[in-house]
Amino acid sequence: SVFAGPNHLVIFHMNDTHAHVWGTEDGGGFARAATLINQAREEVAKEGGAVLFLHAGDVNTGIPESDQLDAVPDFLALHYMGLDAMVLGNHEFDKPFEVLEKQYEVAQFPFLGANFVDEKHGGPIFEPYIIKDYGDFSVGIIGLVTEQTKVLEPIYLGENTIVDAEETLKKYLPIVQEKADVVIVLGHLGYYADGRRPYLPVEFTTSDELAENISGVDIIIDGHTHTLLETPVVINNVIVAQAGDNAENIGRIDLWIDDGRIVDWRGEVIPLTSDIPEDPFIKMFTDAFYQLGSEALNEVVEETKVYLDGEHARSDETNLSNLITDSMIWKTGADVALMNGGGIRASIEAGDITYRDILTVLPFGNTLYILELTGKDIMDVLNYAAKIPDGQGAKLHVAGLTAEIKGGKATNVKINGEPIDLNRTYKVVTNNYMASGGDGYTMLAGKPGYDTYFRDADALREYIAHLGTIEDYTSQERLIELDQ
Ligand code: ATP
Ligand code: ZN
């Protein structure tokens, strides 16, 4: 290098942006992030350094205008922002695999996932790692996907699966160390050092445990838990960073590298405050996409006089959870409806209800799935649900059925007012997510049934239109918890 002293590498990282490509007047958004990245590119160019921009997964799902357009605005913006690579987040599997392939074509940057493999042959589906060669030094980036995806988003994995992240890293690490001076794990794994581990029937690798157990990795850039680490945490000499969510912040790590070794570093998370100007090009074309996504969503479906509560759907039965499960029965004529509280993603304020509001509550594009279950099968579902602690996405909501929950068991179960018959077959409606074993409802996977291919959000929209103005929707308890 013509420049004296160590080389400067600036790493920018975002994670869990969840369709939040557009900022608001209060800040956030990709156009503000682009401004900071471009500024840094100009600065380091003068001193002979480089900028690396990474996304730690979950680009998809969260804002209806983007969801309607399969997150094409997000991937295109990241492309023009010069993203070097992303790792696949679990929400990249919210839609069929063809959608991910389309996103890959739009993005034209690597979708890393060393442990996202073909079930039969074990080979990676996308790139396991990349090497960035900056002349004076090189950086290797290995992508690791959370094993939780197998439980959280099982529907569209198909013939592909997620294998053990730590074991996979052990396999690739020597190869990458051979080729690169600095080794980065780009993980959508989750940081659980603060103790909040979800209750899930799958073994999974976390970023903090990975740092603890593995040597040879310099930095773990993480996502999935939406954790805002204002400065990176150092665990076992590994720098672990995560930058919140929803494009409200961008992480920045500055490295100084001499003779292939990191000799100094500093890290921070920069809030994308409103005083940061929006990059005009990114803003211009993403705004045009917003218009496009927006038109269909503004249609007013009905009016509600009351607040429809989605906020507490992981701990309580609410008027909105009852409305949703009732819409499922209304649409399909099933005896019983089953819905996971974690699938209810927002509340609806009193006032006009637009299609946008409904898609914000039910953003996954899930379809209604009919299952033939015996009374005994239904008891298995209820007894699993009875053991789920409050606050988990797996919290069960029902219609057509009442039961008492005590000591982790369901008793006094009635279907349409009649005591459950263990040998009878009932028609049960759920979403395709739960039907394929999502949220640990593995007892449902493989049961006889069929997909109606009818969107849950559309069933809710039609049901609300059918009800007319919602004066009140009293939440009448169906799964009555006797423990409290
Ligand atoms: P992350 O971005 O970290 O994955 P998240 O918001 O999805 O964030 P949680 O808030 O823990 O993570 O939500 C996970 C819960 O979301 C699951 O337990 C499940 O209840 C629900 N969920 C996830 N994907 C789907 C889906 N496709 N359909 C229905 N519910 C889903
Ligand atoms: Zn995630």
Cα Rg of the chain, angstroms: 24
- Please tell me the distance from the alpha carbon of residue 20 to that of residue 96, in angstroms, as a whole number: 21
Residue 449 confidence (pLDDT) = 87
Q: Which mutation among 63, 152, 200, 390 tests ligand 1's pocket best, with the greatest number of atoms within 8 A of CB?
A: 152
Pure H helices in 335-431 = 355-361, 375-385
Residue 296 confidence (pLDDT) = 74
Helix (H, G, I), strand (E, B) or coil at 267: strand
One digit per residue, the tens of pLDDT, for the chain of length 484 reads 455 678 999 999 999 999 999 999 999 999 999 999 999 999 999 988 999 999 999 999 888 899 889 999 999 999 999 999 999 999 999 888 999 999 999 999 999 999 999 999 999 999 999 999 999 999 999 999 999 999 888 778 889 999 999 999 999 999 999 999 999 999 999 999 987 787 777 899 999 999 999 999 999 999 999 999 999 999 999 999 999 999 999 999 999 999 999 999 999 999 999 999 999 999 999 999 999 999 879 889 999 999 999 999 999 999 999 999 999 999 999 999 999 999 999 999 999 999 999 999 999 989 899 999 999 999 999 999 999 999 999 999 999 999 999 999 999 999 999 999 999 999 999 999 999 999 999 999 989 988 887 889 989 999 999 999 999 998 679 999 997 6
Residue 4 confidence (pLDDT) = 66
Looking at all shown ligands, the one closest to residue 146's CA atom is: 2
CA of 334 to the centre of ligand 1 (A): 25
Q: Is residue 73 in contact with ligand 1, taking CB distance under 6 Å?
A: no
ipTM of predicted assembly, 2 dp: 0.93
Instruction: Please check whether residue 147 is in contact with residue 189, taking contact to mean a CB–CB distance below 8 angstroms.
Output: no
DSSP symbol at 442 = G
Q: Is residue 67 in contact with ligand 1, taking CB distance under 6 Å?
A: no
Residue 194 confidence (pLDDT) = 83
- Please report the domains of the chain, with CATH numbers, ordered by start residue: 7-294 (3.60.21.10), 299-481 (3.90.780.10)
Give phi and psi for 9, each to the nearest 5.
-120, 125
Q: Is residue 340 in contact with ligand 1, taking CB distance under 6 Å?
A: yes
Residue 158 confidence (pLDDT) = 85
- Please tell me the distance from the alpha carbon of residue 377 to that of residue 374, in angstroms, as a whole number: 5
Q: Is residue 326 in contact with ligand 1, taking CB distance under 6 Å?
A: no
CA of 335 to the centre of ligand 2 (A): 33
Reading the block at residue 16, the tokens are 């869990």
Helix (H, G, I), strand (E, B) or coil at 50: strand
* Element spanning 150, H or E: helix 149-152
CA of 62 to the centre of ligand 2 (A): 12
Residue 484 confidence (pLDDT) = 60
Beta strand pairing call for 7-14 and 249-258: antiparallel
- Please tell me the distance from the alpha carbon of residue 482 to that of residue 33, in angstroms, as a whole number: 50
